[in-house]
Amino acid sequence: MAGTTRSPGPEEPGKLKRSFSLLAVLGTILVIAGVVGLIYTGVATLTSMLLFGWLLLIGGIVGLVHAVQSRGSDYFWLAVVVAALNIAAGIVVIRHPYGSAEALTLFAALLFLTGGLFRLVGSLVVRGPQFGWTVFQGAVGLVLGILVLGNWPESSRYVLGLFFSLALLFDGLGLLAIGVGGRRIVTLVTEPDVSASPTDRPGNGQGRSPL
């Protein structure tokens, strides 16, 4: 009949539960990988560099294919140059992962150092409403930059792996919380209301006023 709305079938809550369960499983895998990476930071550093190199290489190849397909356009040569640089960088990172880790660690230490210094000086000059929090962030960045830079290049063996493992751990915890929480919400919403008495249910003949 026109104008009627169809209520969701019983299979839709089941699909939602399966989706949230998959998120929880993926989150658990990421949490385990993050914990293992925190224990073996050297292996995590090597793994992160190899992944980074392969991503650069594959992205460069895909970019080169798109550039060839769009030849004749105004940005053809620019796309070719960018793709070639990505391919070259990917090959270098894959062939020399530890040397690339040293370069990236040095770059990260300089970013921490300069970012923390500018944030610390800026907070002292401006003295805004978030003065204390900004000073804390600047001090932490400055200390991290000094620690990593002072122990370089030995710090390159574990710094990138530590950051990579922490990212996996926090992403996994987030997915795990979403999966478990979403499954609980779907269960609470779709479970039948057993507290209602039989006389309150529709279709029951009791409680009708006599004609």
pLDDT tens by residue, 80-98 = 888 899 899 889 989 988 8
Give the chain's mean pLDDT.
Answer: 79
Quickly state the pLDDT bin for 11 (edges 50, 70, 90): low
- The pair of three-digit structure tokens given for residue 128, joined into one six-digit string: 């805004």
Sign of CA dihedral 86, 87, 90, 92: negative
Amino acid making up residue 120? L
202 vs 137 pLDDT, higher one:
137
Cα 15 to Cα 122: distance, rounded to the nearest angstrom: 51
pTM listed for this prediction: 0.64
- Contacts of residue 196, defined as CB under 8 A and 6 or more positions apart, other chains included, come to none
Q: What's the mean pLDDT in 143-168? A: 83
Please check whether residue 119 is in contact with residue 138, taking contact to mean a CB–CB distance below 8 angstroms.
yes
Question: What whole-number distance in Å separates Cα of residue 194 and Cα of residue 177?
Answer: 28
If one compares 58 and 13, the residue with the highest pLDDT of the two is: 58
The whole-number pLDDT of residue 10 equals 54
Query: How high is the pLDDT of residue 202?
Result: 52
99-113, 129-143, 194-208: segment of lowest average pLDDT: 194-208
Structural element, H or E, at residue 95: helix 76-95
